[in-house]
Structure 1
Amino acid sequence: MVGRIISGIIDKVVDSLLLKLMRDPYTENLFELVSTTMKVTPLNLMETVFRCEKGKAIGRPFGSTLHMSPWDELKFNPVYLHQLPTAEKQGIKTDITLGPAARKPLRLKIPIIITGMSYGGALSKKAKIALAKASTLAGTATNTGEGALLVEEREEAKHYIYQYHRGLWPHGNKEEFYRLADMIEIQVGQGAQAAASQSTPARNIDAEFREIYGLQRGEDMVIASRLKEVETPAQLENLVRRLKEETDGIPVAYKFGAGHYLEKEMDIAINAGVDVIVIDGAEAGSHAGQPLLSDDFGLPTLYAITRAADHLTRKGLKDKISLIASGGLLNPGHFLKAMALGADAVYIGTIAIMALVYTQFIETVPQEPPTELVLFTGKAKEELDVDLAAQSLANFLKSCVDEMVLGAQALGKESLADVSREDLVALTREAAEITGVDLGYRLHERDARNQIEPLKPLVAKQLIIEAERK
């Protein structure tokens, strides 16, 4: 009886709503929400709401939603008999050396590295420890990010990269910290935020955070737009020299967000004596990057890594200075293509966090997003199972490398480092022009004529005169 009554009520409500949708003028119709949302897009609609609510710059998690690098327009060329595939995949090498010219190069078992993600400014202590453990299990390195050194993180990481950053807190960029590293990364900017200043308000900083960073109660954690005492090429050169002396020659890297002045930035770094260059493309992620900086600044990773590799080759430095690609790289295809275009290794961040929490997302969903397990401000950060998270990420890394090895075998390579642009083909003219890779189809005669360099004006004018005489 009750069921029939409820069913009747629902039927009348639905009928009334449908009749209203069909009869109301479009400009007054509830369906206007659908057409307007389709035009504005759900993302822009929600970010408009956030801006209206806060009245200040908003921070979008994980960077740009735009897929700007045309990775899918490049394909690998499998070999069969004109060149044989590699007989046994077990012998294919996956190891890399970063900073081969350094006194103490950094040698890793795999070319996929965990990028800089800071404690406090982005991630919780448990998340940072899980990343470190995963890097050790997989045979790679982890990076401090733009934050303070965590003793527990360092203890769990076999290979550790210290980011020499733009932070203004007392416990940053000290010799006692970066001497514990296997590589130092001088960071002057990143793909998701360029060199814009950032801060973590004091209200989000607890007692442990303050102690690790050396902050006073009520003091914000501030990241400046410029690296302190490094505002000229000469000052960068002095810093690189000092860091090498103080660390007995571990590699020193230079990281910046990709832009059209890429080669000029590279030249400054090269002249300063760096061992590694890190190019962070526009698709890079961040804990909370402003949409304008993430969507509308910088060069896409594919464009940038191609230009960077070409620049090192022109200078005869490709075998002396290592190149790391970073920004929006998500799967084995992206990683291997980046290496084929000239990268010696790749950084991962966003997808590493996804791999870290994927087995534990049921702890937060549907009430909260899974990232609440790993963010410093996350409501569920204490519920993260560190060992399970570390094993999940390590499994992801091992799986990716296994697929890359199969790819190298199908290309007839003995090492992942042997993959090159000659192993790629472009599906579109744009991809071919961006990368210098061969186009995957033959131009018809008409199209080929259109590709001929235009005639010089004087020559064209002479041809017109001769034609008129005839």
Structure 2
Amino acid sequence: MLLSWMMMKMMDPAMDEIMAKMLTEDYPDNPFLLVTVAEKLSPRAVMEAAIRAELGKELTRPLGSPVVLSPWDKILLNPKQLFQLPTEDYTKVTTKTVIGPNAKRPLTLETPIMITGMSYGGSLSLPMKVALAKGASMAGTATNTGESAVTDEERQAARLLVGQYHRGGMLSGQEQLGMLDAIEIQLGQGAWGGAVDEPMRSEQIGRHLQKAWKLEKGQDATVYSRMPGKSTSQDYIQMINKMKAQYDVPIGVKIAGTDYIEYELAVIAQTQADYIVVDGSEGGTAVANPTLQDNVGLPTFHTLVRTVDWLTQQNLRDRFSVIVTGGMTTPGHFLKALALGADAIYIGTIALMAAMHTQVAKTLPQAPPSQMALYTGKMTDKLDVDKAARHLTNFLTSCMIEMQLAVQAVGKTAFKELDRTDLVTVDKNLAEFAGIRYAGSQREVQLPGIGQVNEQYQSPSLQLQ
């Protein structure tokens, strides 16, 4: 109490002076000017300008862009109560998902929620990668190597492991590719606005990572903007088909969402790939710069709708499983993506938050929680791997139960039964774009002997529109 009283007495004169200046001085000499500047420029722009002024190089903002343009909150699920009844038992709602059903060894998941590609070294620490693998395995789903190599630690922890054959070459060859449950040819990602060079200096690469990536001492590593040796679209088509011929597991292609999405899909359609991953601009990352994150690419929602629509129009929807990723964080987001046509959803940043859970207290207030998760973090040794895995499993389990309850409410018996008739939007433009009902227009129903009235219920003799 005495210390608190002393601090207040010491602060009182300073606060009096500040308040007097803010209430009496003209703006050029008024400290409140900082507030108006922040309102004009945004606090983020002010802080990033200061960091740029200090460093004189491109910024690397972890965990993705704050700019979220996907209108998930303007879309709602359609429950049924009387004219059709809800599903009787939510626990019997089927959650199983199959990626690449036409492959010799399809990827069968207990949940459509998967852990996205976050690489060991380029993104996350090895302890965090192991935690994600363990948590995903306990929940019956897959994790992804990201732009790295298959390590013994991650492979042993993951029941189902998707590996990215990527533009850096760290994961390649029969020894590595033969250990995977699905192969994902990574040609771009949303947070990078597609594909650009991603260099990593040798001094940032530890001994264990150097061995995993098969680098010489002092050798830098680079993920390039294109696959080395590939100069045409036809080169990629041949590469994908060759890989499909070599391996029994599903072969996928990952691309970032852009306004050229149909052009990119037209190339993939000429391959024998089993699945397509589309990554919206809200996707996270460890090191992409703010300009790419905030200003390049297409939002996840628009990317997914256009992907599914194009495949459907070309009679190709049954040939390819579709996985969507990029900024989705809640069971509601996941359900809406499934109803729009996705077969599965990759999550990243929200999975990290769930895994770290209360362990973030180990870093705060000295450092942000990212210092416990990133490869370059200074507190990676503080992560309790088993505890992180349990919390990730709990998060995925919680999401699944909430999703089953919502599917019960709409009267379906399986996640894969969801479609756009289960959605409604309050935005007329969204309704037209996504082919879902606009909430501002009434439904009509024909009742025998009465005529048209607002749709309220259904019997066998009703004709619904």
Q: Considering the TM-score relative to the shorter chain, is it more than 0.5?
A: yes
Taking the aligned partners of 1:358 and 1:422, their CA distance within structure 2 comes to: 36
Structure 1 residue 433 displacement after superposition: 2.4
Q: Secondary structure at the match of 2:190?
A: coil
- Segments of 5+ residues of structure 1 without an aligned counterpart are 444-470
> Are residues 430 and 14 of structure 1, via their aligned partners in 2, closer, same or farther at CA, if it must alter by over 3 Å?
same
One-letter identity of the residue aligned with 2:188: G
- Aligned residue for 1:317? 316
- Aligned residue for 1:384? 383
Structure 1 residue 238 displacement after superposition: 2.0
Structure 1 residue 5 displacement after superposition: 7.5
- Aligned residue for 1:74? 75
One-letter identity of the residue aligned with 1:159: L
Deviations 1:309-357 (A, max 9, x none): 1111112222221000110110000000001001000000010111110
Deviations 1:61-115 (A, max 9, x none): 1111011000010011110121111011121100011111212211111000000
Q: Secondary structure at the match of 1:192?
A: helix
Taking the aligned partners of 2:113 and 2:59, their CA distance within structure 1 comes to: 31
- Aligned residue for 1:449? none
TM-score normalised by length of structure 2: 0.92
Taking the aligned partners of 2:39 and 2:285, their CA distance within structure 1 comes to: 27
Taking the aligned partners of 1:212 and 1:388, their CA distance within structure 2 comes to: 26
> Are residues 21 and 158 of structure 1, via their aligned partners in 2, closer, same or farther at CA, if it must alter by over 3 Å?
same
Q: Is the 8 A contact 2:164 2:171 kept in 1?
A: no
**2:264 paired with 1:265:** yes
> Are residues 203 and 342 of structure 1, via their aligned partners in 2, closer, same or farther at CA, if it must alter by over 3 Å?
same
Taking the aligned partners of 2:5 and 2:160, their CA distance within structure 1 comes to: 67
Q: Secondary structure at the match of 2:312?
A: helix
Q: Is the 8 A contact 2:424 2:438 kept in 1?
A: yes
Deviations 1:236-292 (A, max 9, x none): 222222222322x21110101001111111111121111100010010010021111
**Bigger radius of gyration, 1 or 2?**
1
Q: Secondary structure at the match of 1:271?
A: coil
Taking the aligned partners of 1:256 and 1:300, their CA distance within structure 2 comes to: 13
> Are residues 245 and 2 of structure 1, via their aligned partners in 2, closer, same or farther at CA, if it must alter by over 3 Å?
closer
> Are residues 19 and 430 of structure 1, via their aligned partners in 2, closer, same or farther at CA, if it must alter by over 3 Å?
same
1:9-28 → structure 2 map (5 Å cutoff): 9-28=10-29
- Aligned residue for 2:132? 131
Structure 1 residue 146 displacement after superposition: 0.5
- Aligned residue for 1:201? 201
Taking the aligned partners of 1:144 and 1:233, their CA distance within structure 2 comes to: 25
Taking the aligned partners of 2:7 and 2:392, their CA distance within structure 1 comes to: 49
- Aligned residue for 2:448? none
One-letter identity of the residue aligned with 2:383: L
Taking the aligned partners of 1:3 and 1:378, their CA distance within structure 2 comes to: 36
- Aligned residue for 2:274? 275
Structure 1 residue 127 displacement after superposition: 0.5
- Aligned residue for 2:412? 413
One-letter identity of the residue aligned with 1:241: N
- Aligned residue for 2:244? 244
- Aligned residue for 2:210? 210
One-letter identity of the residue aligned with 1:395: N
1:146-295 → structure 2 map (5 Å cutoff): 146-168=147-169, 171-193=170-192, 194-247=194-247, 249-295=248-294
Q: Secondary structure at the match of 1:119?
A: coil
Structure 1 residue 7 displacement after superposition: 5.5
Q: Is the 8 A contact 1:233 1:272 kept in 2?
A: no
Taking the aligned partners of 1:108 and 1:402, their CA distance within structure 2 comes to: 16
Structure 1 residue 9 displacement after superposition: 4.6
One-letter identity of the residue aligned with 2:401: D
Taking the aligned partners of 2:216 and 2:162, their CA distance within structure 1 comes to: 27
Deviations 1:204-247 (A, max 9, x none): 11211211111122222211000123332322222222222322
Taking the aligned partners of 1:93 and 1:196, their CA distance within structure 2 comes to: 40
One-letter identity of the residue aligned with 2:64: G
Q: Is the 8 A contact 1:359 1:389 kept in 2?
A: no
- Aligned residue for 1:308? 307
1:109-124 → structure 2 map (5 Å cutoff): 109-124=110-125
Aligned length: 440
> Are residues 5 and 153 of structure 1, via their aligned partners in 2, closer, same or farther at CA, if it must alter by over 3 Å?
closer
- Aligned residue for 2:452? none
Q: Is the 8 A contact 1:106 1:251 kept in 2?
A: yes
One-letter identity of the residue aligned with 1:305: L
Deviations 1:31-54 (A, max 9, x none): 111110111111111111111111
Q: Is the 8 A contact 1:86 1:412 kept in 2?
A: yes
Q: Secondary structure at the match of 2:180?
A: coil
> Are residues 50 and 243 of structure 1, via their aligned partners in 2, closer, same or farther at CA, if it must alter by over 3 Å?
same
- Aligned residue for 1:58? 59
Taking the aligned partners of 2:14 and 2:414, their CA distance within structure 1 comes to: 66
Measured on the aligned residues, the alpha-carbon RMSD in Å equals: 1.6
- Aligned residue for 2:436? 437
Aligned-pair identity in percent equals 41
Q: Is the 8 A contact 1:234 1:272 kept in 2?
A: no
- Aligned residue for 2:456? none
- Aligned residue for 1:48? 49
Q: Is the 8 A contact 1:357 1:371 kept in 2?
A: no
Structure 1 residue 2 displacement after superposition: 9.7
Deviations 1:109-147 (A, max 9, x none): 100000000001111110111111011100000000011
One-letter identity of the residue aligned with 1:223: V
TM-score normalised by length of structure 1: 0.91
One-letter identity of the residue aligned with 2:440: Y
Structure 1 residue 374 displacement after superposition: 1.3
> Are residues 10 and 126 of structure 1, via their aligned partners in 2, closer, same or farther at CA, if it must alter by over 3 Å?
closer
Structure 1 residue 378 displacement after superposition: 1.1
- Segments of 5+ residues of structure 2 without an aligned counterpart are 443-465
